[in-house]
Amino acid sequence: MKLTAKQRLFADEYIKSGNATQSAIKAGYSPKTVRSIGQENLTKPDIKSYIDAKMAEIESHKIADAKEVLQFYTRVLREEETEEVALPAGDDVITVEKKPSFKDRLAAAKELMKRYPLSDPMVQAQLKKITADARVAEARAKVLEDNGADVEEALDRLLTRLDKEESKDEHERSADS
């Protein structure tokens, strides 16, 4: 995207105000043409792309990412965050800074632990049990698979013997006739 200095200034001003005419004025376009230039600039693909990209960047900064949330929970847990609380003082109201309560700190700790479950002894025990159950199930499946193979082999041997005996009986019957 190659924009002229005027176009970039126009786009930056438009992002701030949302007004194409005022943005064209601040970007230094001729007062006689600011209205039409402002609207025309909004239809130019390079300027539109620049504005869209900047708007997306601004929006992404408004949303907290996981790291920021974890840092906040940690600050609450360590009593580094405060909140303003309004208290009545006679006819007036005063505001005071209040540190997180024990309940707030405990809630923050629980939220942090949800994200780091392996350090929780209960979760570790549950994971060990699940792993052991999976191993037992695999062992049972292997035994059943092996026993099934043995049964299948025995059945094949039995069928082969029966076929041989049947063939022998047929051979004897044909010899008797």
Residue 92, SS3? strand
pLDDT along the chain (177 residues), means of 10: 90 93 94 94 94 88 82 92 87 89 90 72 74 76 67 72 75 66
Asked if residue 88 and residue 45 are part of one domain, the reply reads: no
- The number of domains in the chain is 3
Instruction: Identify whether residues 97 and 80 lie together within a single domain.
Output: yes
Domain limits for position 28? 5-62
The predicted-structure confidence for 119-152, as pLDDT tens digits, reads as follows: 667 767 777 777 777 777 777 777 666 666 666 6
Angstrom CA distances, 36 to 3, 23, 150, stand at 18, 12, 88
* Prediction pTM value: 0.41
- Helix and strand element counts for the chain (H, E): 7, 2
**Is residue 16 located within the same domain as residue 57?**
yes
Whether residue 75 sits in one domain with residue 44: no
Asked if 112 and 74 touch (Cβ cutoff 8 Å), the reply is: yes
137 with 171, same domain?
yes
User: Based on the domain organization, do 140 and 99 belong to the same domain?
Assistant: no
> How many whole angstroms separate alpha carbon 114 and alpha carbon 120?
9
Phi-psi region of 43 (alpha: psi -120 to 50; beta: other; left: phi over 0): alpha
